[in-house]
A = this chain, B = another copy of it.
Amino acid sequence: MYKLIKNSGAARRGEFTTPHGTVQTPAFMNVATCGAIKGGLSALDLKDLKCQVQLCNTYHLHLRPGDENVKKLGGLHQFTRWDGPILTDSGGFQVFSLAKLRNITEEGVTFASHIDGHKIFMGPEESMRIQSHLASTIAMAFDECVENPAEYDYARSSCQRTVRWLYRCKAEMDRLNLQPDTINPRQMLWGINQGSTFEDLRIENMKQIRELDLDGYAIGGLAVGETAEEMYRIIEAVEPEMPKDKPRYLMGVGTPANILESVKRGVDIFDCVMPSRNARHGHAFTWDGCRNMMNAKYTLDEKPLDEHCDCPVCRNFTRAYIHHLFKSGEMLAMRLCVMHNIYFYNSLLEQIRSSLDQNCFEEFYSNNILKLGARI
């Protein structure tokens, strides 16, 4: 399903094929937590913004509207009207970060809903069943995401349990894909590498999970408290152990600079709420760095958000107008800024792909790595 087209050092240009379309990698997945990208974007907007993949959150959709309801409504593609690939996370990350009063056993996790506090149990089988109801293109394995810094012993035993859970995920997904009423019988399962910031645990874990020959592999448990340098060190440690013929997904990362650094280290796929969340607070990513649109200096600025951008927002609206909309508390401010940022992230990945195609990734990296992190 994954085809490696070319390398530049560890960086990889590839594509992978799914029943819902082919994804050119490196790629960014656009986060639609509850079935919609925050900031008022619908599936109708996504094609204009160069989106390839939509990511939806299992935990949120399980609580509301309920995965059984999404199944009755034909699955996430039918529900959200996005016809491209959809990846669902496993719910694990949210269970460990949002839910309260959680209790972990070998079976799974009992936790209280962050909406109304009612008790829910989720284990590998439950996560697979929910994701099967949601009928995403790619389901993620149910794992424990340990916050950094972690105790070595806890990280090791958690990792080992996550591997045992992965076998249960695989068995359950195989079973679900054979059920006659399954919406997407070709739903893929991707595994998740854990091991906190310990290189030996990461490598051991990767060796174990690659045995299952899954459709793709993610690096999880990063960007959860450690420094960027630690994150890059772990990617460098684990990357040589990742299958060459499978897509590699770095979960929840990150800034434009984080993405460029991680592509350089062999990662293919990313997701992050940053483009939409930062936009809602007035922060616009540009090729010259990040702008705070609340700044009074934009009051009479007739230039677009980004002079190098040809998104629908930059083709039509001025910084002055967007600044005014933010100051006035108009919802349109957030929508326009989210649209631009989503387009920016997808364009960044497109430019990275193009530089790999043209054998100038290193040059692209050098020209952009500092600017992308600037505040202007």
Across the two chains, which residue of chain B brings its CB closest to A327? Answer: B64
**Does B39 lie within 8 Å of A321, measured CB to CB?**
no
Number of copies: 2
Q: How far is the CA of A316 from the CA of B77 in the complex (A)?
A: 12
- In order of increasing CB-CB distance, the 5 nearest A-B pairs are A40-B40, A40-B331, A40-B335, A36-B332, A65-B324
In Å, the complex CA distance between A81 and B322 comes to 12
Interface flags for A41-73 (1: CB within 8 Å of B; 0: not) read: 111100000000000000010001100010011
B332 & A40 in contact (Cβ 8 Å cutoff): yes
A79 within 8 A of B: yes
Decide yes or no whether A166 CB sits under 8 A from chain B: no
Q: Which residues of B contact A263 (CB under 8 A)?
A: none
A300 at the interface (CB under 8 A from B): yes
The reply to whether A325 and B81 form a contact with Cβ atoms under 8 Å apart is no
A325 to B69, CA, bound (A): 14
A334 contacts B40, CB within 8 Å? yes
Interface string of A12-42 (1 = CB under 8 A from B): 0000000000000000000000111111111
Determine whether A320 belongs to the interface, using a CB cutoff of 8 Å to chain B.
Answer: yes
Q: What residues of B have a CB within 8 angstroms of the CB of A321 in the complex?
A: 35, 73, 79-81
Q: Please indicate the chain B residues that have their CB under 8 angstroms from the CB of A328 in the complex.
A: 34-35, 60, 64
Other A-B pairs beyond A65-B324, A79-B321, 20, CB < 8 Å: A35-B321, A35-B328, A36-B330, A40-B332, A40-B335, A41-B332, A42-B335, A42-B336, A64-B324, A64-B327, A64-B328, A65-B299, A65-B320, A65-B323, A69-B299, A69-B300, A72-B300, A73-B320, A74-B302, A79-B318
A312 within 8 A of B: yes
In the complex, 30 of the A-B residue pairs with CB atoms within 8 angstroms, ordered by the A residue number, are A34-B325, A34-B330, A35-B321, A35-B324, A35-B328, A36-B330, A36-B332, A38-B330, A38-B331, A40-B40, A40-B335, A42-B332, A42-B336, A43-B316, A44-B312, A64-B327, A64-B328, A65-B299, A65-B323, A65-B327, A69-B299, A73-B300, A79-B320, A79-B321, A79-B324, A80-B321, A81-B317, A331-B331, A331-B334, A335-B335
Chain B neighbourhood of A44, CB < 8 A:
312, 316
Q: Which residue on B lies nearest to A313, using beta carbons?
A: B42
Nearest-Cβ distance from residue A94 to partner chain B, whole angstroms? 14
Minimal beta-carbon separation of A281 from chain B (angstroms): 14
In the bound assembly, the distance between CA atoms of A300 and B43 in angstroms comes to 20
Q: How far is the CB of A108 from chain B (nearest CB, A)?
A: 25
- With CB as the reference atom, state the residue of chain B lying closest to A42: B332
Given contacts A65-B299, A65-B324, A300-B72, contact A317 B38 (CB under 8 A): no
Q: How far is the CA of A327 from the CA of B42 in the complex (A)?
A: 16
